Amino acid sequence: MANATVTRMDLADAIYQEVGLSRSESADLVDMVLDEVMAALAQGETVKISSFGSFSVRAKKQRIGRNPKTGEEVPILPRKVLVFKASHVLKDYLVGKSKAK
Amino acid sequence: MLERGNAMTKSELILRLAQRNPELYQRDAEKIVDVVFEEIAQALSRGERVELRGFGAFSVKDRKPRIGRNPRTGTSVSVPGKRVPFFKTGKFLRDRLNGKV
């Protein structure tokens, strides 16, 4: 258990087990779910998954950074970053207060 | 600032997945989206890491117990340690948000 990592393959396997589609369909559908989330975010939409959490895109302004090795100042260009906020249901689930739906 | 207004909810995600797969039963589209997020939540509750190439990685961080303070009364209260979910955006998604892909 210690450092197990769950991957797309494990998610596909869960769909294969629980929905009863073929393995390759299950794998494609995992990719599609993630792709729809990414497409929405790329459009600037917030993605809210109830009892899990929300993903939102935040615009960062340009600021001056510094190369820590050379001390040289370099501009950090304006960019967009993704912020994930876990829902209370998920947080409580990790603390063991409740069960996920 | 966060962009307000346009948000994709879980039911909207289910709808988009179903539209992309006309041969899929609506209830299967629902089940697929539920299974994806449920599996992630369950892995995190087991203390495992979830690594979804291109999308990002979910992990659990330990917060140590600490002495907090009630800001209104100033009394000390002990805050128990807990595990909190954390998400790191994948490189592909980060680039996609910034129009590089």
pLDDT digits (tens, 9 = 90+) for A40-64: 999 999 999 999 999 999 999 999 9
Contact B41 A52 (CB under 8 A): yes
Domains and CATH numbers, chain A: 1-44 (no CATH), 46-101 (4.10.520.10)
Q: B62 to chain A: which residues are within 8 Å by CB?
A: none
pLDDT at B2 over 80: no
Tell me the C-alpha distance between A92 and B17, whole Å.
29
- Considering only CB atoms, A94 lies closest to which of B1, B16, B45, namely B45
Q: B37 to chain A: which residues are within 8 Å by CB?
A: 49, 52
If residue B12 lies in a helix (H) or strand (E), which one and from where to where?
A: helix B10-20
pLDDT of res. A99? 53
pLDDT, tens digit, 9 for 90 and up, residues A9-22: 999 999 999 999 99
Tell me the C-alpha distance between B50 and B98, whole Å.
24
Q: What ipTM does this complex have?
A: 0.87
If residue B34 lies in a helix (H) or strand (E), which one and from where to where?
A: helix B26-45
Q: B53 to chain A: which residues are within 8 Å by CB?
A: 7-8
H helices of chain A, in order, are: 8-19, 23-42, 88-95
User: Considering the entire predicted model, what is its pTM?
Assistant: 0.87
